[in-house]
């Protein structure tokens, strides 16, 4: 029989997890916007809208110290961050476009180098995804192979039901462990009646065809046409659940300080600036071309995955109205 949890018990689950000293993060109203934030109680969870920023910063913070250094007795002492202190975390209420992103990012953070800051947080996290019933015009998850009820990336997946409760599916062992440890909060139902999923107007894109076009059009008038107006603000990358570029800088003096890892964006004019002063992506359309190439060709070449979940955040955030879904649609319609 399908397993279910009532809305009240979902909130009780959060209360219990907090009592167990876990960090519980979920969509929470913060002034006029909803953001993923630590929840002090189940009553703080809000599932009415997509959080403004994605959940990637849970695993890949905007900025973090990776070591500190101090000169002592003429010698430089380096102190690593104690990653064993990263807390057990439950991300709860992530729609499919956010729940899917860590599973996409795992590939790059464990490829030529194991980024233990990211990976330790992933090991200590459980993701409770939820089917999306509230998309908007900017959403296009179905066009990139996901769906409002896609379970990819979730450990436990909830489907809102018409009676206000949720059908539950343990997708991974972590999800099963979460349910087993709190079995009293879950029940069974003879049948379930799912609430309508979010509607998506965008056509289905042929990602194979798009990739093939990209392979043959590194140089193409399209790039200038679509991205001449890009102001290189980086908002699209920072708000994206899948963008993952970062830079590393030392902050401090020659005597003491810290080394920090912080987000970067390929839209920034200096992103590829060489020490010599040469910049291979010297104009904005080359930088925007990289954004599309990386998401729909290079990442797929390397890892067999598309670096976009169709969340629509970059469409909503772009100050000059550049719409990635429209661009993909344009490429999809091309015949050559």
Distance between CA atoms of 305 and 294, rounded to whole angstroms?
11
Give whichever of 56 and 122 is closer to ligand SF4, judged by the CB atom. Answer: 56
Under a CB-based contact definition with an 8 Å cutoff, are residues 3 and 168 in contact? yes
Residue 314 in contact with ligand SF4, rule: CB under 6 A: yes
Q: How far is the CB of 217 from ligand SF4 (least distance, A)?
A: 19
Residue 55 in contact with ligand SF4, rule: CB under 6 A: no
With a CB cutoff of 8 Å and minimum separation 6, the contacts of 231 are 284, 319, 320
Residue 266 in contact with ligand SF4, rule: CB under 6 A: no
Q: How far is the CB of 181 from ligand SF4 (least distance, A)?
A: 32
Residue 226 in contact with ligand SF4, rule: CB under 6 A: no
- The residue count for the chain: 336
Q: How far is the CB of 54 from ligand SF4 (least distance, A)?
A: 7
Token readout for 145 is 């192979």
Residue 152 in contact with ligand SF4, rule: CB under 6 A: no
Under a CB-based contact definition with an 8 Å cutoff, are residues 71 and 258 in contact? no
Residue 240 in contact with ligand SF4, rule: CB under 6 A: yes
Residue 90 in contact with ligand SF4, rule: CB under 6 A: no
Binding range to ligand SF4, per CB under 6 A, among 23-31, 126-134, 158-166, 305-313:
305-313
CA 299 to chain centre: 15
Give whichever of 100 and 167 is closer to ligand SF4, judged by the CB atom. Answer: 100
Q: How many residues bind ligand SF4 (CB under 6 A)?
A: 26
Among 310, 327, 328, 331, binds ligand SF4 (CB under 6 A): 310
Query: Contacts from 279-286 at CB under 8 Å and sequence distance 24+?
Result: 284/227, 284/228, 284/230, 284/231, 284/232, 285/223, 285/224, 285/226, 285/227, 285/228, 285/230, 286/223
Distance between CA atoms of 58 and 36, rounded to whole angstroms?
9
- Burial level of 50, CB count in 10 A (0-12/13-18/19+)? buried
Residue 324 in contact with ligand SF4, rule: CB under 6 A: yes
Residue 175 in contact with ligand SF4, rule: CB under 6 A: no
Distance between CA atoms of 114 and 223, rounded to whole angstroms?
34
Binding range to ligand SF4, per CB under 6 A, among 125-133, 169-177, 196-204, 310-318:
310-318
Q: How far is the CB of 25 from ligand SF4 (least distance, A)?
A: 19
Under a CB-based contact definition with an 8 Å cutoff, are residues 332 and 202 in contact? no
Residue 311 in contact with ligand SF4, rule: CB under 6 A: yes
Residue 27 in contact with ligand SF4, rule: CB under 6 A: no
Residue 100 in contact with ligand SF4, rule: CB under 6 A: no
Residues within the interface to ligand SF4 (CB under 6 A): 230-236, 239-242, 267, 295, 308-314, 317-320, 322, 324
């Amino acid at each position: 029989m399908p397993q279910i949890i009532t809305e009240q018990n979902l909130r009780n689950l959060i209360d219990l997890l907090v009592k167990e000293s876990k960090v519980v993060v979920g969509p929470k109203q913060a002034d006029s916007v909803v953001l993923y934030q630590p929840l002090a109680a189940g009553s703080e969870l809000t599932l009415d809208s997509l959080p403004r920023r994605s959940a990637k910063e849970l695993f890949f913070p905007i900025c973090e110290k990776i070591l500190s250094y101090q000169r002592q007795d003429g010698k430089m002492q380096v102190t690593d961050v104690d990653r064993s202190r990263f807390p057990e975390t439950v991300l709860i209420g992530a729609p499919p476009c956010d729940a899917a992103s860590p599973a996409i990012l795992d590939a790059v953070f464990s490829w030529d180098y194991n980024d233990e800051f990211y990976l330790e947080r992933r090991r200590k996290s459980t993701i409770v995804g939820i089917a999306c019933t509230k998309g908007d015009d900017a959403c296009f998850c179905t066009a990139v192979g996901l769906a409002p009820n896609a379970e990819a990336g979730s450990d436990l997946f909830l489907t809102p039901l018409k009676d206000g409760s949720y059908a539950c599916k343990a997708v991974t062992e972590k999800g099963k462990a979460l349910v087993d440890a709190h079995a009293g909060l879950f029940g069974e139902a003879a049948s379930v009646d799912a609430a309508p999923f979010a509607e998506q107007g965008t056509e289905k894109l042929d990602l194979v065809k798009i990739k093939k076009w990209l392979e043959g059009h590194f140089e193409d008038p399209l790039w200038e046409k679509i991205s001449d107006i890009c102001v290189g603000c980086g908002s699209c990358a920072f708000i994206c659940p899948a963008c993952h570029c970062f830079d590393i800088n030392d902050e401090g003096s020659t005597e003491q300080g810290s080394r920090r890892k912080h987000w970067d964006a390929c839209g920034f004019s200096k992103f590829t600036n060489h020490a010599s002063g040469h910049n291979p992506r010297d104009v904005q359309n080359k930088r925007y071309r990289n954004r599309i190439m990386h998401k729909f060709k290079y990442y797929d070449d390397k890892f067999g995955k598309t670096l976009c979940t169709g969340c629509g955040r970059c469409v909503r955030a772009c100050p000059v109205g550049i719409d990635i879904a429209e661009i993909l649609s344009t490429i999809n319609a091309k015949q050559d």
